[in-house]
Structure 1
Amino acid sequence: MGARVTRVFRNYNLENRVHRELSKDKPRAAPRHSVKLPPTASSPQEVDSLNQNNAPLLDHLRSVYVESRDPAPAAAEVSKDVTAGREQRRLLKFSVPASPLGLVELTDVPIGKLTIAEALKAVGSHQHQPQTWSPEKIAQEYSLDLKETKALLDFFVPFKVEIIPPKTKKTKQIKAS
């Protein structure tokens, strides 16, 4: 009810108010901030001062001598740098078919990493056959850390479908196949 009343007052004499507002003079724009332009070298005296060499500065520059050498890296750091430069990779154990979206199919992954497809396969096989697919075997198969593999199996739960039976016999039910 209140909305109707406010709409009546809001739309009352609307056209006259619009014409009155449009006929007013537009406000002037605020003045622009003055910008100082860089000085132009119009006089020959300024051009000469820019092109002249400053003798004391040149002498000081000639007296400075810099010698630079790389420090000798330790043997352990060298081996880390070499392995970091070319990361060890392993071939995929399991992959899904290429997607229609044109995504690049992976052929290998870094050691200690899993793709989503491999993670689902490993967790699913562990759930179906926990004696065969123990955390130790999964860690060895996919080149993973044992602690991370145990955490993966504990906390990474794949999608589960649970069919709840209907309360009445008239309700349709999805049949499990």
Structure 2
Amino acid sequence: MTMSINEHGPHGPQGLMDSGSGLEPQPTPVAPTDAQALREAFGRFPSGVIAVCGMVDDRPVGMAVSSFTSVSLAPPLVSVCLQTSSRTWPKLRQLPRLGLSVLGEQQGEVCRGLAGAEETRFAEVHWEATGEGAVVLPGAVTWYTCTLRAELPAGDHTIALLEIDRLWTLPSAEPLVFHGSRFRRLDDGDRSAVPA
């Protein structure tokens, strides 16, 4: 079955659906200049949550981000997107090493803490620093230590391209998932039913 996409969306205008199709009527399209609608649309894509942290003046500094992407295997590169209004990123970008922690499913409170006031972000967060000043968070499913290689302006965000120096991973651990402005867990049902 093929489906066409036009100005009315992927299934045609609202209310013109075949009642026997089993498909839900589509909402009326809006312009991407509607910031709230755009934020809600972006929030429909589930993502992991990453803590980006390092030592600044002998204390941990960091923040939580949900826009993390694997970029390249050779060289090993990842990217994160950071708001240009961030007061934390200018401190972190100067460091020789950064720690990236992919938060685990039990770390919702850790994420909330890292999204709070900068001076109290690590008050209830257990952390460890490497010899090079990267900060990682125990309980995470994966840790990377990275070096900043490039920054690209992208509207109201900056894309930071990071090269991985070392990594550790816990294959059996489950990640924290952010979707629709809520923390969620992966379904632990039968994964053999998922098509390859």
Larger Rg: 1
TM-score norm. by structure 2 comes to 0.16
TM-score norm. by structure 1 comes to 0.17
